[in-house]
Structure 1
Amino acid sequence: MSTETYIPIETLCTYYKVETSFFQGLNDYGLIEITTIEKSPFIHHKQIKNLESIVRLHQDLHINFEGIDTVLNLLEKIHDLQSELVAAKNRLRVFED
């Protein structure tokens, strides 16, 4: 397993100014996935975009893990509905032309 695509939790704690327990809580709640490599916790780089949203929701809006989970689920549903709307508009264009 290559560590090039993983970011150490310690680095993220310093960058976001949070405790390691914050990341452990996110992992326990299923919001992120922590991978242990050589007894050190890491997060895959593909989770960073989602992680940044989570940290902003928590720090700026003081939303707890349950609230963050709800917000992320709602945002995902909005994205799905927007995709469906675009697909429906594209199908309607066929009949308009």
Structure 2
Amino acid sequence: MNQKEMENLIAITTICTYHEVEYTFINSLSEAGLLHLEVVDQTPYIPESDLQRLEKMIRMHHELEINVAGIEAISHLLERVEQMQEEIRVLRNRVNF
């Protein structure tokens, strides 16, 4: 991995320290398929583009005390809502033409 690609990655240890969250929580999110970790030289990273999504999951866990299974269910439902909103937008565009 070149330097340019590394610039867009954030070390999980940095995130865990900043957000005061255990690595096991982040790893559980990854195992549940909610987060993609990239390992470089045995150090796990997340893409910068996934940071906002991860921070939402951390807030759900900290502020609402939702476990990984709950976060998984909520994420699935939110994705469905976004898909349905996109379908509605497409259908409205068709009707307007």
Question: Structure 2-normalised TM-score?
Answer: 0.88
The runs of at least 4 aligned residues of structure 1 exceeding 4 Å deviation read none
Larger radius of gyration: 1
Q: Displacement of 1:72 after TM fit?
A: 0.6
Aligned: 1:25 with 2:32: no
User: 1:86 and 1:70 mapped to 2: Cα distance?
Assistant: 24
Aligned: 1:84 with 2:87: yes
SS in 2 for 1:36: strand
Kindly, what percent of the aligned residue pairs are identical? 34
Q: Displacement of 1:24 after TM fit?
A: 1.4
Q: Which amino acid aligns with 2:35?
A: I
SS in 1 for 2:6: coil
| 1:50 corresponding residue in structure 2 | 53
User: 2:78 and 2:95 mapped to 1: Cα distance?
Assistant: 26
Q: Displacement of 1:88 after TM fit?
A: 1.2
Question: Structure 1-normalised TM-score?
Answer: 0.88
Q: Give the gaps of 5 or more residues in structure 1.
A: none
Aligned: 1:65 with 2:68: yes
Q: Which amino acid aligns with 1:32?
A: L
SS in 2 for 1:42: strand
Root-mean-square deviation (CA, aligned residues, Å) is 1.1
How many equivalent pairs are there? 94
SS in 2 for 1:32: coil
Q: Give the gaps of 5 or more residues in structure 2.
A: none
